[in-house]
Amino acid sequence: MIDVHLKGRGITDPAVLSAMASVPREAFVPEASRSRAYDDCALPLSHQQTISQPYVVALMTERLAVRPGMTVLEVGMGSGYQSAVLLAMGVRLFAIDRLQSLTQRAVDTLRKIVPPEQFKRLHAVTSDGARGLPEHAPFDRILVAASPPALPQPLLDQLAVGGRLVIPVGDRAMQRLTIVTRTAAGLHTTTDIQCRFVPLVGEHGWPER
C-alpha cells in the first residue's frame, strides 16, 4: 500500500506516510472485506457509508498539512480510520459523525488500536457535521469526508486564521477536492482532484433521502 498506492502516486510527506504505515487498516474494515483492506479502493461500511481508499486518505491528510499539537475537526468519522491517521500525527482531534452506531464503533475500535497517549487526544461526537462544533472552535484544520453541494458556512466560520479546510464539494455523483485557507485578509480557495464521497447530510449539506 505505502510503496505502490501512496508513494507510487505522489504522496511524499514523511509524516503522512509514517502515520499511514502505523495504522492497521484491517481493524477498521468490516470482516467480510478484510481480505481487501489494503486494496486502493473504498470499502462499504453499514448505513451506506464507506471507508475511503488509502490514496484519498493520504492525499487529504497531506493537503491538510497538519503539525503536532494542532486542533483538528474531522467531519464524517465513519470507521475511525482517518481519525487514527490524524491521531498518529499528533493532533488534538474532534471527530463528528451523524450516526451514533458508527461513532460508537469507531471509538471502540480506536480504543483498542491506538496508543493511550493518542486516544486521550480524541473527542468524538454524534451530531450534524456540517454545523461543526462552534463550542470548540476555532480549529487549525478541518477535514470533511463527505460531500456537500457547497461550502458549509459554519465550517468556514470555525476555521482559525492560518487554518485550512479540506473538503469534497460537488453534486451527488462527482466532486472536486477543495482546499480553503483562511488568512488575515480572508478566504482563499483552490481545487484538486475529482473524487466521489458519500453525501454530507444535514442542515448545511444534502437533505436525507
User: One of 18, 52, 79, 127 is an active-site residue; which one?
Assistant: 52
Q: Where are the alpha helices (DSSP H) in 65-199?
A: 81-88, 100-113, 116-119, 153-157
Grid cell listed for 202: 444535514
Evaluated on CA atoms 78, 79, 82, 87, the torsion sign reads positive
> Is 147 a catalytic site residue?
no
Query: Angle at Cα 49 formed by Cα 52 and Cα 151, nearest 5°?
Result: 75
Active site residue ranges:
52
